Amino acid sequence: MKFEFIEKDIDKISADVEIIFIVEKNFDHKWVKDKEELELLNFKGEDEESALLADKRRLYVGVKSLDSDDIRVASAKAIKSIKNKNFKSAKIGIYSDVKAIVEGVLLGDYEFNRYKSKKENSKIETIYISKEEYSNKEFDSVKIKQEIEEAKIVANSTNYVRDLVNTPPNEITPVTLAKVAKLLAKEKDLEYKVLDENDLEKEGMNAFLAVGKASANPPRLIHLTYKPKNPKAKVALVGKGLTYDSGGLSLKPSEYMVTMKSDKSGACAVLGIIKAAKELELPIQIDAIIGAAENMVGPNSYKPDDILKAKNGKTIEVRNTDAEGRLVLADSLCYAQEKVKPDFILDFATLTGACVVALGEYTTGVMGFNSSLKKKILEATKESGELASELPFNRYLPKLLKSQVADICNISSSRYGGAITAALFLAEFIEEDNKDKWVHLDIAGPAYVEKEWGYNPYGASGAGVRLAIKWLQKEFNK
């Protein structure tokens, strides 16, 4: 789909259909030309309500406000309303944020239909964006064109992640995920390195190795690096890449096993982030590190009661093999700190169902020790359109991870506060000097939802990409 900025008023642009937002139920704006027809249809202009007047070639969509995320949602609603009609082009004026319009259209247009025999792809080829603004503010055409390109990069990277997460586990294994990363590295001129099971053993990454022992598909650690000239900082992004999670010997019930292809969402997110960062030419070095494994059942399965030695020398008592992502991340975080020596460390993981219980399906849990860093990430998250909330540490929760036979237990002794105790487990593998550099993002809720929401489709949302890019831009594009 192409986006063209036209330096003309909207009435002077030729297109198959015009998209008009009814902002705060304002039917008196000059762009609303069909008030009587809308009244006849009982169209109230409520949020996400739409009315297509085919004979007038106009689509009206209700939008709650001019806030960027409301515009994204309305733009997604608009493209969904016309994508399967016989329109090849559409035109729209600028409301509050041209980036939000472009992102909303591209995110709303997304469909994962790769495995369907009959596909109904969008017929819209071009979106024309008029210079005419809803509120008649002055515009900067150069800036608008830049914002359109930036929005395309971020939205397309998000959709790239959606495709990867939605791909089933018979197609994406740790080895094939490494091949996907290698292809991305080649396309984007990134440095690429992969560690196989023998390399992991040499590195002392025994917690990571244990998780993948029972699978016919061996584990891989994947390391991509984007290194611009004179980078302002080094940022390590660590992603949980469970290409499938059966729960291991602590087997999941069958209904909970469905959708476990999504347990690689953190890994896919860091691939999308580094892809967007390179295309945007952000002035920081980014190291995307993925711990990829399958947690399966077999003769070599690791077991409850096993004691594992992680890369940093700490011993872990296993009491539940379905708490496997934290074991993979523990060694991956140790690797990131040792090899990269980063200024910031962000990990992305579909880590706990407890985070979904705490915050709901749509919200990422943000945890860490540095209040200022968490605040900046939460501010950037809000601007990006993703939803996130902090889950606070306290002095009592770490005691719940105490083991009588090892340095730490892989699950808490309490059923409560599970998202936080999982993060505190990871904190045991963050060096003391790096505690204030690290933030953990539990994306278990928004990464994969089995219903449409806002501009997100059934399935993968690409959670993490937009929030991370916004934070990187705000922090380092100064």
Question: Are residues 348 and 239 in contact, defined by beta-carbon separation less than 8 angstroms?
Answer: yes
Amino acid sitting at position 413: S
What are the structure tokens assigned to 27, written together? Answer: 């039917």
Nearest by Cα to 1 from 129, 133, 96: 129
Active-site annotation holder among 162, 326, 374, 470: 326
Amino acid sitting at position 380: A
Angle at 262 between CA 258 and CA 265, to 5 degrees: 170
Active site residue 382: no
Q: Strand, coil or helix: what is 94?
A: strand
Active site residue 326: yes
Place of tokens 């018979």: 170
Amino acid sitting at position 430: I
Distance CA 88, CA 123 (A): 6
| Rg, the chain, Cα only | 24
Amino acid sitting at position 429: F
End-to-end CA distance of the chain: 31
Distance CA 316, CA 405 (A): 9
Give the helix ranges, DSSP H, for 203-352. 206-212, 254-257, 265-280, 325-340
Residue 198 burial (C-beta neighbours within 10 Å; 0-12, 13-18, 19+): exposed
Question: Are residues 465 and 276 in contact, defined by beta-carbon separation less than 8 angstroms?
Answer: yes
Question: Are residues 314 and 425 in contact, defined by beta-carbon separation less than 8 angstroms?
Answer: no
Q: Report the C-alpha dihedral over residues 169, 174, 178, 181, rounded to 10 degrees.
A: 50
If phi over 0 gives left and psi between -120 and 50 gives alpha, with beta otherwise, what is residue 273? alpha
Which stretch of DSSP H or E encloses residue 237?
A: strand 234-245
Active-site annotation holder among 57, 85, 182, 252: 252
What are the structure tokens assigned to 197, written together? Answer: 């099971």
Question: Are residues 322 and 212 in contact, defined by beta-carbon separation less than 8 angstroms?
Answer: no
Nearest by Cα to 310 from 327, 293, 291: 327
Q: What does 375-408 look like in DSSP terms, one character per residue?
A: HHHHHHHHHHT-EEEE----SSGGGGG--SSSSE
Catalytic residues: 252, 326
